[in-house]
Amino acid sequence: MASSSTVGKLSREEFRRQKDLEAARKAGTAPAALDEEGKPINPHIPQYISQAPWYLDTGAPSLSHQRRAESDDPAPKSLDDWYDRGATAGPAAKKYRKGACENCGAITHKKQDCLERPRKKGAKFTNRDIRADEVIQDVELGYAAKRDRWNGYDPAEHKKIYTEYTAVEAARQKLREEEIDNQTTTDLAAVRKMAKAGKKDKEDADFGSSDEEDADEDKYADAADAVGQKLDAKTRITVRNLRIREDTAKYLMNLDPSSAYYDPKTRSMRDAPDKNTAPEDAKFAGENFFRYSGEAPAVQQLQLFAWQAAARGNDVHLNANPTQGELLHQEFKEKRQELKESSKGSILAKYGGEEYLQTAPKELRQGQTENYVEYSRTGQVIKGHERVKARSKYPEDVFANNHTAVWGSWYDNSTGTWGYSCCHSVVHLSYCSGEAGIAAAEASTAQNLLASSRPPSTLESSNAEGKVEQNYSKKRMGEGEVSLDKERLAQALKEEKKRTRGEDEDGRLGKRQKGGGAHEVTEEELEAYRMHKRISNDPMANYVDTDD
């Protein structure tokens, strides 16, 4: 209800009428309550919103306590609505006036409120340098305007600070560039001087080459500081990026999804993104092109030798002592080559056949090959080593039982089953019958279609009904009213007793035979079996009446 409750406790009848009025207003049968402005109040507003607190209750329906009260506090129209700093009322006075500031001579404030530096002798006693009177302003500010920390701030002050800091930063950067250039020039000169001194000590002045000296200078110049680096080249770990940000990313070289695979975690693309371009002409030929070119394979072989030697107990470590690892690897390769040649020579000397080894390669002897390979000018393979497709873990292209096609290669539309396309057999793991099986399957399909399209005759329908009656009738299942022959039932009971005791046809006891001859079970035999069947879970199976 939008209206506030009346003061005092309501009677039961008044409370009931108030509830009925609220229900009628919500249903729309009664007009809504009006506030002090004559506007209707929504009857679906909750009571904790529509009911005014006790200190704002006027006794009439109203929602004014939920609206923001209009404030009469004046607020500045803009940031310029502030005190005019430094404004003067006119020219300064010529001599000191009674009641003015004893320090500066302005009549608008007293000595204790003066903001100037305290003079040794005030204007009251010297009558000199009297300041002009300030303009007394009365700026009416509201609650929010008084607490606005940026009210009256001049943005021009921040612009001055920004300009000053920008000039200081530009000067600092210029000094840093000059320092780096001077340091780089000094280091290069010192390195070249040291390289020439070492060259003169080792060799005579008559023997020397300017090319070798230039090479040595380039070699030692790598140790100098590079422009733009923060630390010395000998002590820094790494301060350069892995790639320049302006370079094109690897995955943007070729946007085809079936091109070279790009690993986003390690940012590596091992294959060439564009295989139609020669590696030496491509902008990026893949990481494998650089990995297996130059001295990279030799370094990998040296690392592998160091690992294998350390596993055998030798003190070899490539990073700790690379010179020792290189010498041992070179010695190992020479010994292995000598051992290989000696073993080859001993085998040829013992068995002969050296003349057969001096033959041309197989490709040259045959003059052709089935492998299509394209080479570049440097002898590298461009096409020919395609990526091998991954095979499934399940057996593929395996033909069993003389089949020439796999299971599921043929679909029978008439029956909706799968089979072999070589013999049209729908039985899995059956023996293939070839063309004869296809012909038999087509004939069977044609016969089934002909039989389904032909209407059944009276005799066939009667036989079919009789067969259904024979197989699924209540009489066949032993239900309903069945007429039994007493003589046949007695004979069936006698045969059932013999069968349960395990007797043969002559009345002799023997092993109980499982199953019987293939004959039609009669109603009398079925009834005899039911009468002699022992139900183990029947509570009355072993009951004996002793009263008789």
State the residue for tokens 């990279």. Answer: 296
Rounded Cα gap, residues 14 and 2, in angstroms: 16
Give the tokens for residue 160.
Answer: 């001055």
Helix (H, G, I), strand (E, B) or coil at 45: coil
Helix (H, G, I), strand (E, B) or coil at 134: strand
At residue 105, the pLDDT reads 93
**Predicted confidence (pLDDT) per residue in 514-543, tens digit:** 444 556 788 888 888 888 776 655 666 666
Residues 6+ apart with CB under 8 A from 452: none
375-398 b/e with 16+ CB inside 10 Å = b? eeeeeeeeeeeeeeeeeeeeeeee
At residue 138, the pLDDT reads 83
Closest residue by Cα to residue 75 from 152, 124, 157, 140: 140
CB 254 within 8 A of CB 262: no
In degrees and rounded to multiples of 5, residue 478 shows phi and psi of 80, 25
Residue-level pLDDT, tens digit, the chain, 548 residues:
444 444 567 899 999 998 999 999 999 899 998 888 888 999 999 988 988 898 888 888 888 888 887 766 555 555 567 888 888 988 999 999 999 999 999 999 999 999 999 999 999 999 999 999 999 888 877 788 888 888 888 888 889 999 999 999 999 888 888 877 776 555 556 656 655 665 555 455 444 444 444 444 444 444 444 444 444 444 444 444 456 677 788 888 888 888 888 888 888 888 888 888 887 788 888 888 877 777 878 888 888 888 888 888 888 888 888 898 899 999 999 999 999 999 988 998 888 888 877 777 766 666 666 677 788 888 777 777 665 566 677 777 788 888 888 888 888 887 788 898 898 888 888 888 888 888 888 887 777 766 666 665 554 555 555 554 554 454 554 555 667 888 888 888 888 888 877 655 555 544 444 444 556 788 888 888 888 776 655 666 666 666 65
